[in-house]
Structure 1
Amino acid sequence: MPASIVLSDLSISTPDGRPLLSNINLSFGAGRTGLVGRNGIGKTTLLALMAGERAQQSGMISVHGSVGLLRQSVQVAQGMAIADLFGAREALGTLRRAEQGTATLEELAKADWTLEARIASALGRAGLDVSPETPLAALSGGQTTRARLAALVFAEPDFLLLDEPTNNLDSAGRDTVIGLIAEWPGGAIIVSHDRELLETVDAIVELTSLGVSSYGGNWSRYRERKALELTAAQRDLADAEQRVADIDRKTQDMAERKARKDGAGQRKRAKGDMPRILAGARKDRSQDSGGEAARLGERRRAQAQDAAASARQRIEILQPFSVRLAATGLPAGRMVLVLEGVSGGHEPGRPILHDLSFSITGPERIAVTGPNGSGKTTLLKLASGELLPWTGTVRGPTDFAMFDQAVSLLEPSASILDNFRRINPSADTNACRAALARFMFRADAALQTVSSLSGGQLLRAGLACVLGGPTPPALLILDEPTNHLDIASIEAVEAGLRAYDGALLVVSHDAAFLDAIGISRRLDLGGPQT
């Protein structure tokens, strides 16, 4: 029987019982499927259910074949080595004893003499040239992810279940992982916000508050279908709103005609032109027909309003985020930032950057690129003044905002609205509210405490507070702004940055993000691969 995973009438809830998705019916076979949806919708939970790590509360999961799960983050136990990921510690120990001449005859008879070469090959395909005995604690986060994926592929399960496999990888690491997945011959279900990776899949499954939808093809094909759905939803909304208006007009016309007719009957009765019994019967019929017409009109109006509400909900999910911002007033010739002969680092005697010189003039958009460990974040800290150079000089910036991955420019214990007021003290309440609404923090949403926000909300709140003011800063400095964000949040950030007319200095491994925000120049630091 071919390997398959079938979900029947499955419902997903949070650990505290809050429902996320209901009545999911999906089937997976050979081929790669991207699983997308906003953070918190249940993607990771769905992978855990399919892997058998969590029991479903309702519905059925039928798995024919073996599965291998790559979690988004794993605590590394003390003393673990790469060999443990492959389940090969004992077998490799036998080979080592054989090399030393201390293995027993029984061990020699059971030894897998090709094991070490096959593990080395698997690690090599993941871009790693390390010994199986290497402690996991000695690896970077990106190297650990690649080693875990290599071990999964080595085990040859029927299905790979991958949770954000390219997070925290540099460009070379991402390319390697994307290549591994593209070559995978079995089934793969991939939770990811990496649009470059999603371009290589065979199908997209989207989870939203409206339910689950499947789309054949890769990310570009999915976006085309979503654009068609948005057009259809906008047409449905216009039709429903027109029906409401038509019903309201007809109801008003009927009410006016009835009022005129009733007025004429009252005048006749007042003159005595109509027998009393006939007048009473006509009055009763008028009341009955008028009441029935009103009830019918209300039913039709309610149906049209429900259709309009449904279309509006679909549009809210499908509609790309867009925003208008005040101008920075940054002239094209103004020198924004200058680094001359800068060297620096975090530990004395161990510089990360050596004799670096570069500048930003006017509204340039510069991406700082290079492998992990090449000094990208160090450069941002030098540019922002958080780190002082050992040699050389840094001039400017005087008017900037720094967005690190924790968006630490926001006060966690304060509300979004209070943060906006602190960063923009001259803005009145109406201006604060209007600016936050442009970034989708309307009404009570602006009163949320910053510490309660998701990653996507946190970055959007930071952008709202900095860019939504009367005069945005001339330079934004961003360090991996899309890490751990869902695609809807990434696209909201992209829209905000596209509307910004100042200078950008950005560290990001997300090529699609850099293209979307209009990077004009790249500063490649090079350096060691980690």
Structure 2
Amino acid sequence: MPTSHRASALAFSAVTLIRPDGSRTFDDLDLLVPPGRTGLVGANGSGKSTLLRLAAGDLTPAAGSVRVSGRVGYLPQDLTLDVDQRVDAVLGIGTVRRALRAIEGGSVDQHHFDLVGDRWDVEQRAVAELERLGLAGDDLLDRRLGEVSGGEAVRLSLAALLLERPDVLLLDEPTNNLDRAARLRVHDLVATWPRSLVVVSHDRELLEHVERVGELRPHRTRPIEVRWYGGGWSAHAEQVAAEQAAAEHAVDAARGALRRQRRSVADAEERLAQRRRVAKRNAGNVTKAERDFLTHRAEKSAAGMRAVHAERLDAARERADLAEDALRDDAQIIVDLPETTVHRGQRVLDSDGLVLRTGRQVELTLVGPERVAVVGRNGAGKSTLLHTVAGDVPPGAGSVRAHLPWALLPQRIDVLPGELTVAESVLARSPDADPTLVRTRLARFGFRGTAAEKQVATLSGGERFRATLAALLLADPAPRLLMLDEPTNNLDVAAFDALVGALGAYRGALVVVSHDQAFLDAIGVDRAVDLDG
């Protein structure tokens, strides 16, 4: 049943958004988001975050309108925070707290009472929201942002929104960079949110708690659309699988019909050619007037027949195009690189009295093609450990040594120069490689044909991830130890699946920092190193 503007949490009417380069993110978009808890998914670059920014008022459409039912609270994906700002200021209660302290100290200044208004319990409410998100609130209010971890800063920003009690809460990848315990707090918040909420996320566990999933899908033959699926992530996945099975059947049928129509055109042309040959043989038995009449009639008949067949062929092509447009074109990554093989019992990595710069003592050894997960709360030193192995960060004491070629995929995947093409980025790390072989291998990372000539700066998030992974794995020497730091952050669903498939075929050893238990389960880790002890 369609949702009316009045009954919707968000309403986008004929919205057009033009990028600085003149291209259009949305063109005449109409979209109604129902009340309740909604998840938004889609490929990187499809416009999910842009939709939230439009709803929050951060962006203004070139045409059309955006309507929100009530007050909005917006948590962006990339927070920009002042490290010198106090936590109570982030929560928006700093001025009220100081006024309360003054009143408690005996002040009768009316200005202080005006500042407090009816918010006498604001500190208690703030502490309650902080504790709800797993943050100790007693002394936290007086600290500065520079004294808290990145994950704590995200939760502080979320607590600030909750204190405002918005009617519509907009969350963009709220569990990125959060440890397991913090993620579960956000999951609980989404599951119990009593008003309207729209969350953009690749976190499948979180998406199980929404009432519906909207998927943004760009198309080759028509504007971007949002397809709605009832239920959480699992229900969405089942419905998509059924749709794809039907779409594949429709494509097979449409392609078969197109082949038959092409054969019909060829048969018709052959019949016309045969008629022309017969007419030529019989030309001497008729007068010129009769010959002209028959020729005119044959040409008219041939033109009509060609028009009919051309119309049928165009219709068959259109049906085939529409059928193929319903198919997902999710690029898969195929990593069957024999030079990355690590044999059973082979030494890969070991440490000797290793103490990280954070002061954390760590014992880390790898033998054979082990897959090790490094887990722990935010700030425990997981990323520091990987960068210490890579030699980017010196240890506080002791040592760690990799015995085989290695590569590190950091959290921020802006390691490739933006001015280079994808192929040039790979060749820069393997200068002696055959360029033809490089392009063949890039096809296995989803960069086929001219896609390998795209500039890195123009790639979407998912494409940039695949390009970075290709540059690391196709380097010379090929890495036989691959270290990944939160690799699923900001990956769309298709890229997540592609990464799982790629690591399933990788023959080397893995060290993976991740808070995403579904991802760790999917790639089959052998054991975990817990930095919380």
TM-score normalised by structure 1 residue count: 0.90
Cα 1:453–1:269 change in 2 (3 A) is closer
**Number of the residue aligned with 1:306:** 318
1:482 to 488, 507, 518: 488
CA contact 2:426–2:471 (8 Å) conserved in 1: yes
Distance in 2 of aligned mates of 1:21 and 1:112: 42
**Number of the residue aligned with 1:128:** 135
Distance in 2 of aligned mates of 1:494 and 1:12: 34
Cα 1:88–1:384 change in 2 (3 A) is closer
Shift, 1:457, TM fit: 2.3
Distance in 1 of aligned mates of 2:512 and 2:521: 12
> 1:234-313 counterparts in 2 under 5 A?
234-270=248-284, 272=285, 274-313=286-325
2:332 to 306, 321, 325: 321
Deviation digits for residues 295-325 of structure 1 (CA, Å, limit 9, x no counterpart): 22222222222332333343243x4624252
1:188 to 191, 197, 200: 197
CA contact 2:347–2:368 (8 Å) conserved in 1: yes
Q: Which sits farther off after the overlay, 25-34 or 167-176? A: 25-34
**Number of the residue aligned with 1:517:** 523
Cα 1:105–1:460 change in 2 (3 A) is closer
**Number of the residue aligned with 1:14:** 19
Alignment of 1:414 with 2:417, yes or no, is: no
> 1:140-179 counterparts in 2 under 5 A?
140-179=149-188
Distance in 2 of aligned mates of 1:183 and 1:56: 32
Shift, 1:15, TM fit: 4.2
**Number of the residue aligned with 2:240:** 226
Question: For this pair of structures, how many residues does the alignment match?
Answer: 518
Report the RMSD for the aligned CA atoms in angstroms: 2.6
Cα 1:426–1:89 change in 2 (3 A) is closer
Shift, 1:77, TM fit: 4.2
Distance in 2 of aligned mates of 1:70 and 1:111: 26
Shift, 1:524, TM fit: 0.8
Structure 2 residue identity aligned to 1:66: R
Deviation digits for residues 86-134 of structure 1 (CA, Å, limit 9, x no counterpart): 4322321221012222343674594643222111111111111134333
CA contact 2:251–2:320 (8 Å) conserved in 1: yes
Distance in 2 of aligned mates of 1:493 and 1:71: 25
> 1:296-375 counterparts in 2 under 5 A?
296-317=308-329, 319=330, 321-327=332-338, 328-345=340-357, 351-354=358-361, 356-375=362-381
Q: Which sits farther off after the overlay, 469-478 or 216-225? A: 469-478
Structure 2 residue identity aligned to 1:334: Q
Distance in 1 of aligned mates of 2:66 and 2:198: 15
Structure 2 residue identity aligned to 1:297: H
Distance in 1 of aligned mates of 2:479 and 2:84: 48
Match of 1:230, SS state, is: helix
> 1:431-510 counterparts in 2 under 5 A?
431-468=437-474, 472-510=478-516
Structure 2 residue identity aligned to 1:489: A
Distance in 1 of aligned mates of 2:388 and 2:111: 61
Structure 1 residue identity aligned to 2:163: F
Structure 2 residue identity aligned to 1:326: L
Distance in 2 of aligned mates of 1:167 and 1:69: 15
Cα 1:87–1:396 change in 2 (3 A) is closer
Structure 1 residue identity aligned to 2:52: L
Cα 1:25–1:2 change in 2 (3 A) is closer
Distance in 1 of aligned mates of 2:415 and 2:57: 41
CA contact 2:356–2:381 (8 Å) conserved in 1: no
**Number of the residue aligned with 1:348:** none
Deviation digits for residues 33-64 of structure 1 (CA, Å, limit 9, x no counterpart): 11122333222221122223433322333333
Structure 2 residue identity aligned to 1:118: R
Shift, 1:431, TM fit: 1.0
CA contact 1:196–1:511 (8 Å) conserved in 2: no
Distance in 2 of aligned mates of 1:437 and 1:490: 18
Distance in 2 of aligned mates of 1:155 and 1:479: 34
Deviation digits for residues 437-485 of structure 1 (CA, Å, limit 9, x no counterpart): 1112223322233344444322211222333479843211111222233
Alignment of 1:113 with 2:113, yes or no, is: no
Alignment of 1:207 with 2:216, yes or no, is: yes
After TM superposition, the runs of 4+ consecutive aligned structure 1 residues lying more than 6 A away are none
TM-score normalised by structure 2 residue count: 0.89
CA contact 1:435–1:469 (8 Å) conserved in 2: no
Shift, 1:414, TM fit: 3.2
**Number of the residue aligned with 2:29:** 24
Shift, 1:402, TM fit: 1.6
Distance in 2 of aligned mates of 1:79 and 1:500: 44
Distance in 2 of aligned mates of 1:232 and 1:461: 32
Structure 2 residue identity aligned to 1:14: R
CA contact 2:374–2:529 (8 Å) conserved in 1: yes
Structure 2 residue identity aligned to 1:129: A
Unaligned runs of 5+ in 1: 346-350
Distance in 2 of aligned mates of 1:451 and 1:218: 34
Match of 1:358, SS state, is: coil
**Number of the residue aligned with 1:381:** 387
Deviation digits for residues 487-530 of structure 1 (CA, Å, limit 9, x no counterpart): 33333322222221221101112222222222221111116xxx
Distance in 1 of aligned mates of 2:274 and 2:527: 74
Shift, 1:29, TM fit: 3.6
Distance in 2 of aligned mates of 1:380 and 1:430: 33
Distance in 1 of aligned mates of 2:151 and 2:312: 58
Unaligned runs of 5+ in 2: 1-5
Distance in 2 of aligned mates of 1:320 and 1:452: 17
Shift, 1:366, TM fit: 1.0
CA contact 2:333–2:499 (8 Å) conserved in 1: no
CA contact 2:335–2:503 (8 Å) conserved in 1: no
Distance in 2 of aligned mates of 1:399 and 1:30: 52
Alignment of 1:89 with 2:82, yes or no, is: no
Shift, 1:158, TM fit: 1.3
CA contact 1:158–1:187 (8 Å) conserved in 2: yes
Structure 1 residue identity aligned to 2:381: G
Structure 2 residue identity aligned to 1:94: A
Shift, 1:393, TM fit: 4.2
CA contact 2:72–2:168 (8 Å) conserved in 1: yes
Match of 1:353, SS state, is: coil
